[in-house]
Structure 1
Amino acid sequence: MESGIDVILDKWELKEGHDSIAFMEKMVTDPTIAKVAVISDRKYAEKADGRVSGVGTETQIISREVYEKQDQNKFVAVLPERDEEGKPYLPTYYKGRIYIDLSSPENYASEFERLVRWVFDKPLHVKPEVGKPPTFLDEEPAKSLGTSVSFRRALDALKNGRPFVEGAVDEYLTTFAENMERFRITLDNSKEADEQVADSIDEFTPYKNEFVQVMLAIAQYAANDDMQKKLHRFFEQLLPYLDRPENMSSQHSWDFDNFKFIVHELYLYAIAILIRYERFAFSDRLLATPYYVSSNANRGRDATATFSEFREYMESFQGRDKKLGRLSSRADLLKQRADSSGFDFKWLLQADFVLYLRATLNDDYYVRWWPETLVYATRSYGPMEIFARSRSASYYREVSKILGGVSAEDLKAHVKELQTDQQELPKWQFERIAPGVLTGIDKLASTP
Structure 2
Amino acid sequence: MDRINDTLPLRDDYVEFLELLCSAHEYVDIEPLINFFEDIQRFTYSSENQQNTHSYQWDHYKFLIQELLIYTIAVLIENGRYKEAGEFLDTEFYIKDRHGHAEYSNLKVFYDYLYSLDEYRKRRLDSNLYSITADTMAHRSTLRKYPKQKIVDADLLLYYTAVLKGHDWPWFPRLYVYGGTSNRIQVLHRLKSLRHFEKVKYLFGVNSVEELKALFKNFKHERQGYSGLHSIPNLPWQINPDEVGTLS
Indicate whether the TM-score tops 0.5.
yes
Q: How many angstroms does 1:391 deviate by?
A: 1.3
Q: How many angstroms does 1:309 deviate by?
A: 1.5
Q: Counterparts of 1:52-131 in structure 2 under 5 Å? A: none
After superposition, what is the alpha-carbon deviation per residue over 1:33-92, rounded to whole angstroms, capped at 9, x for unaligned?
A: xxxxxxxxxxxxxxxxxxxxxxxxxxxxxxxxxxxxxxxxxxxxxxxxxxxxxxxxxxxx
Q: How many angstroms does 1:382 deviate by?
A: 4.2
Task: Write the distance in 2 (CA, Å) between the matches of 1:373 and 1:387.
Answer: 18
Equivalence for 2:214: 410
Task: Write the distance in 1 (CA, Å) between the matches of 2:90 and 2:147.
Answer: 26
3-state SS, counterpart of residue 47 of structure 2? coil
Amino acid aligned to 1:433: I
Q: How many angstroms does 1:277 deviate by?
A: 0.8
After superposition, what is the alpha-carbon deviation per residue over 1:293-339, rounded to whole angstroms, capped at 9, x for unaligned?
A: 122747x7x61121222221111222234532212221221121112
Amino acid aligned to 2:107: F
After superposition, what is the alpha-carbon deviation per residue over 1:347-367, rounded to whole angstroms, capped at 9, x for unaligned?
A: 2122111110111123342x4
Q: CA RMSD in A?
A: 2.3
Q: How many angstroms does 1:437 deviate by?
A: 5.9
After superposition, what is the alpha-carbon deviation per residue over 1:139-182, rounded to whole angstroms, capped at 9, x for unaligned?
A: xxxxxxxxxxxxxxxxxxxxxxxxxxxxxxxxxxxxxxxxxxxx
Q: How many angstroms does 1:222 deviate by?
A: 2.4
Does structure 2 retain, via aligned residues, the 8 Å contact 1:292–1:305?
A: yes
Q: How many angstroms does 1:384 deviate by?
A: 1.2
Kindly tell me: are residues 223 and 209 of structure 1, through their superposed partners in 2, closer, same or farther at Cα, counting changes over 3 Å?
A: farther
Kindly tell me: are residues 262 and 204 of structure 1, through their superposed partners in 2, closer, same or farther at Cα, counting changes over 3 Å?
A: same
Equivalence for 2:178: 376
Amino acid aligned to 1:429: G
Equivalence for 2:3: 200
Kindly tell me: are residues 429 and 256 of structure 1, through their superposed partners in 2, closer, same or farther at Cα, counting changes over 3 Å?
A: farther
Task: Write the distance in 2 (CA, Å) between the matches of 1:444 and 1:327.
Answer: 35
Identity score, percent: 21
Task: Write the distance in 1 (CA, Å) between the matches of 2:98 and 2:244.
Answer: 41
Larger CA deviation: 348-357 vs 244-253 = 244-253
Does structure 2 retain, via aligned residues, the 8 Å contact 1:275–1:347?
A: no
Q: How many angstroms does 1:412 deviate by?
A: 3.0
TM-score (norm 1): 0.50
Amino acid aligned to 1:318: D
**Residue 447 in 1 paired to residue 216 in 2?**
no
Q: How many angstroms does 1:444 deviate by?
A: 3.2
Does structure 2 retain, via aligned residues, the 8 Å contact 1:215–1:273?
A: yes
Displaced runs of 4 or more, over 4 A = none
Equivalence for 1:214: 17
Does structure 1 retain, via aligned residues, the 8 Å contact 2:206–2:212?
A: no
Of 245, 250, 256, 2:47 maps to: 245
Equivalence for 1:432: 231
Equivalence for 1:392: 193
Q: Which runs of 5+ in 1 are unaligned?
A: 1-197
Task: Write the distance in 2 (CA, Å) between the matches of 1:335 and 1:364.
Answer: 26
Q: How many residues align?
A: 240
3-state SS, counterpart of residue 292 of structure 1? strand
Does structure 2 retain, via aligned residues, the 8 Å contact 1:382–1:438?
A: no
3-state SS, counterpart of residue 254 of structure 1? helix
**Residue 401 in 1 paired to residue 205 in 2?**
no
Amino acid aligned to 1:408: L
Amino acid aligned to 1:266: L
Q: How many angstroms does 1:213 deviate by?
A: 0.8
After superposition, what is the alpha-carbon deviation per residue over 1:199-246, rounded to whole angstroms, capped at 9, x for unaligned?
A: 101011112111111111112222535x31111111111111222222
Q: How many angstroms does 1:393 deviate by?
A: 2.6
Does structure 1 retain, via aligned residues, the 8 Å contact 2:164–2:216?
A: no
Q: How many angstroms does 1:369 deviate by?
A: 0.8
**Rg: which structure is higher?**
1
Does structure 2 retain, via aligned residues, the 8 Å contact 1:380–1:437?
A: no
Task: Write the distance in 2 (CA, Å) between the matches of 1:383 and 1:447.
Answer: 18
Q: Counterparts of 1:21-420 in structure 2 under 5 Å? A: 198-222=1-25, 224-225=27-28, 227-295=29-97, 297=99, 303-319=103-119, 320-322=121-123, 323-339=126-142, 341-342=143-144, 343-365=146-168, 367-377=169-179, 380-405=181-206, 407-415=211-219, 417-418=220-221
Q: Which runs of 5+ in 2 are unaligned?
A: none
Amino acid aligned to 1:272: A
Does structure 2 retain, via aligned residues, the 8 Å contact 1:384–1:438?
A: no
Amino acid aligned to 1:398: K
Does structure 2 retain, via aligned residues, the 8 Å contact 1:281–1:401?
A: yes
